[in-house]
Chains A and B, each alone.
Chain A
Amino acid sequence: MTAPPAVKEDLVPSEPVVLVEGEPRLAMLRCEDCDQLLQSTRAVCFRCLSPRLRAEAVESSGTLYAFTRVHVSAHREVPYAIGYVDLDAGVRILGQLADFDAVSLGDRVALTSDERRGWVFASTTGEAR
């Protein structure tokens, strides 16, 4: 008789950002069999179905694909700005933005610490110049 399948506690809050040598990185999972990066806790890799997933701290640098400022919410203080960041690691993530007025479409962005809101994405396009 086979054992019943294991169940992951994927609703247990985990710290989304870890510090590596003082730099904020995103806590994700890497499939040990097909190398796919996974954004959140899952039982198996969605691509190859392998259960062999290990934690990986992913660099937060990426490109801002699209963003908006939301003016209506029953759950949080408005307005707030969010955007899709295409991480250099190949994953798209929805993140808070530091400042709606200080980013442009296609900007290079990375995580930075905001006193009030915690970890947010801010433009690094200016810095690179």
Chain B
Amino acid sequence: MSQDVYVIGASMIRFGRYRATSYAGLAVPAVLGALADAGIERDQIDTVYCGHTYGGMLVGQRIVRDIGLGGLPVVNVDNACSGGATAAHLACAGIRSGQHDVVLVIGVERLTQFGGGTLPLIAEDPEVAAGMVMPALYAMRAQRYLHERNATVADLAEVSVKARRHGQLNPYAQFQAEVTAQEVLGSRMIADPLTMLQCCPTGDGAAAAVFVSAAVWRRLGSPPAMRVRASVLHSGEFAAGFRDMTRPEITYRSADEAYEQAGLGPTDLDVVELHDAFTVAELVYYEALGLAQPGQAVELLRRGGTTFGGQVVVNPSGGLLAKGHPVGASGAAQITEMFWQLTHRAGARQVEPARIGLTHVTGGGISGFDHGACCIHIFESVIQS
């Protein structure tokens, strides 16, 4: 019988541009916040998993060193945009197996080190050498999606409008101002048909969460928490030839497995944080996560089915489009948002009811895959009366 896993504390910094701040400088406030929130002393932590992509050597050690923590296993996890979530996945696996009791999960990234522009990809990849950048990948997905689902760029714009409207309620979001569909479509073209306001921004950020075993959760007096119902990680399946870009197999497969692990389905979800790196992604993932039937995603968005008051609130934080997307930090930030939602501490953006939530990130930019990585978690609110 594997152990139940609980998240008992989480924190993050506001995502944004911190050109004069190091990786440790970004992460330490989030780590201290998560520990204080959990009521855990640093010497109770038995392992640290730190997700990042561009942090370089020993980024986790550089962070915990600054809070006087050493001598314990620190594992640094690069899995592109799934880095922070993969760190959480490893924490879950370690606690479930009985190897760990108290795990600190960190996600951190400093994208302003590159000055701006598109995410640096792997130069030795043949598609990258041929001119692939992340906006181009999603732009081609958008072109196919619009073509096959009979949708328009105005539909894409509505994704950004919703994201910004949610972000306006989130003091941790990089962008906290609303935009109109006209502004979205009128912004600078990045990769046809995706305009600037349909792309997640460049930014820095950090988030941290404390994962514990059921035994530790009970010893602490069963505080408000979220229980892990599913933790799933997959890599992409290589295809040399045709691949349907509107149906990324990696998310379909990961979602199916997550629902099976949780014994739950898409209709059980109250709140979702999904990987809206570009507008089209949100519509594609409504279908992939089973929130909408194929071809019904635009309709679901248009009738307000995925905003406050709808059947499931998608990206109450503002998502990657408004909250920001410091790649290795995003998975951990989604988990932080979900923790606040499921412990009913999300303030003006609180989803009601918030009993079951799902977080979803993908990752990558290499040839032959829809994406290189995908990590999905399903959590359940646990609040003892």
- List the B side residues contacting A92 at CB < 8 Å: 239-243
- List the A side residues contacting B181 at CB < 8 Å: none
Indicate if the CB atoms of B189 and A71 lie closer than 8 Å.
yes
Q: CB-defined interface of A71-111 with B at 8 Å, one 1/0 digit per residue?
A: 11110100010111010001110111000100001000000
Return the contact of B130 from the options A38, A69, A95, A105 (Cβ within 8 A).
Answer: A95
- List the A side residues contacting B132 at CB < 8 Å: 82, 94
Return the contact of B131 from the options A11, A65, A70, A71 (Cβ within 8 A).
Answer: A70
Return the contact of B140 from the options A36, A46, A84, A100 (Cβ within 8 A).
Answer: A84
Docked Cα-Cα span, A39 to B129, in Å, equals 14
B19 interface residue (CB < 8 Å to A): no
> How many residues belonging to B are interface residues under a CB distance threshold of 8 Å?
31
Q: Which 5 A-B pairs have the closest CB atoms?
A: A66-B140, A68-B139, A94-B127, A69-B192, A68-B191
Indicate if the CB atoms of A68 and B240 lie closer than 8 Å.
no
Shortest CB–CB separation between residue B213 and chain A, in angstroms? 40
A70-B136 contact, Cβ under 8 Å, with A80-B131, A105-B147: yes
**Consensus secondary structure, chain B interface:** loop
A70-B191 contact, Cβ under 8 Å, with A76-B131, A95-B130: yes
Return the contact of B188 from the options A39, A65, A71 (Cβ within 8 A).
Answer: A71
Docked Cα-Cα span, A65 to B147, in Å, equals 11
Interface residues of A in 27-75 (CB under 8 A from B): 36-40, 46, 65-74
Interface residues of B in 221-253 (CB under 8 A from A): 238-243, 245
B71 interface residue (CB < 8 Å to A): no
Shortest CB–CB separation between residue A95 and chain B, in angstroms? 7
Docked Cα-Cα span, A65 to B242, in Å, equals 9
Return the contact of A94 from the options B131, B139, B189, B242 (Cβ within 8 A).
Answer: B131
- List the B side residues contacting A95 at CB < 8 Å: 130
Indicate if the CB atoms of B190 and A71 lie closer than 8 Å.
yes
B296 interface residue (CB < 8 Å to A): no
Indicate if the CB atoms of B240 and A90 lie closer than 8 Å.
yes
- List the A side residues contacting B367 at CB < 8 Å: 94
Indicate if the CB atoms of A74 and B144 lie closer than 8 Å.
no
Docked Cα-Cα span, A68 to B141, in Å, equals 10
Residue of A nearest to B148 (CB): A105
Residue of B nearest to A13 (CB): B129
Indicate if the CB atoms of B240 and A39 lie closer than 8 Å.
yes
Shortest CB–CB separation between residue A119 and chain B, in angstroms? 11
With A72-B135, A82-B132, A82-B136 known, 16 other A-B pairs at CB within 8 A are A46-B240, A66-B141, A66-B143, A67-B143, A68-B139, A70-B139, A71-B189, A71-B191, A72-B118, A72-B191, A73-B118, A86-B242, A92-B239, A92-B240, A94-B127, A94-B132
Docked Cα-Cα span, A100 to B139, in Å, equals 13
Indicate if the CB atoms of B136 and A36 lie closer than 8 Å.
no
Residue of A nearest to B242 (CB): A86
- List the A side residues contacting B192 at CB < 8 Å: 68-69, 100
Indicate if the CB atoms of B124 and A68 lie closer than 8 Å.
no
- List the A side residues contacting B240 at CB < 8 Å: 36-39, 46, 90-92
Shortest CB–CB separation between residue A4 and chain B, in angstroms? 23
Indicate if the CB atoms of A82 and B117 lie closer than 8 Å.
no
B347 interface residue (CB < 8 Å to A): no
- List the B side residues contacting A40 at CB < 8 Å: 126
- List the B side residues contacting A90 at CB < 8 Å: 240-241
Residue of A nearest to B118 (CB): A72
Indicate if the CB atoms of B118 and A68 lie closer than 8 Å.
no
- List the A side residues contacting B243 at CB < 8 Å: 92
Indicate if the CB atoms of B133 and A72 lie closer than 8 Å.
yes
Shortest CB–CB separation between residue B149 and chain A, in angstroms? 13
Docked Cα-Cα span, A92 to B139, in Å, equals 17
Q: CB-defined interface of B197-217 with A at 8 Å, one 1/0 digit per residue?
A: 000000000000000000000
Docked Cα-Cα span, A83 to B191, in Å, equals 12
- List the A side residues contacting B191 at CB < 8 Å: 68-72
In the assembled complex, 5 residue pairs joining A and B whose CB atoms fall closer than 8 Å, in A order, are A38-B240, A66-B141, A73-B117, A94-B127, A105-B147
Indicate if the CB atoms of A68 and B136 lie closer than 8 Å.
yes
Among A38, A72, A74, A86, find the residue whose CB has the most chain B CB atoms closer than 10 A.
Answer: A72
Among B141, B193, B241, find the residue whose CB has the most chain A CB atoms closer than 10 A.
Answer: B241
- List the B side residues contacting A70 at CB < 8 Å: 131, 133, 135-136, 139, 190-191
- List the A side residues contacting B136 at CB < 8 Å: 68, 70, 82
Shortest CB–CB separation between residue B188 and chain A, in angstroms? 7
Docked Cα-Cα span, A83 to B140, in Å, equals 8
A68-B241 contact, Cβ under 8 Å, with A80-B131, A94-B130, A100-B192: no
Indicate if the CB atoms of B130 and A68 lie closer than 8 Å.
no
Residue of A nearest to B146 (CB): A105
Residue of A nearest to B139 (CB): A68
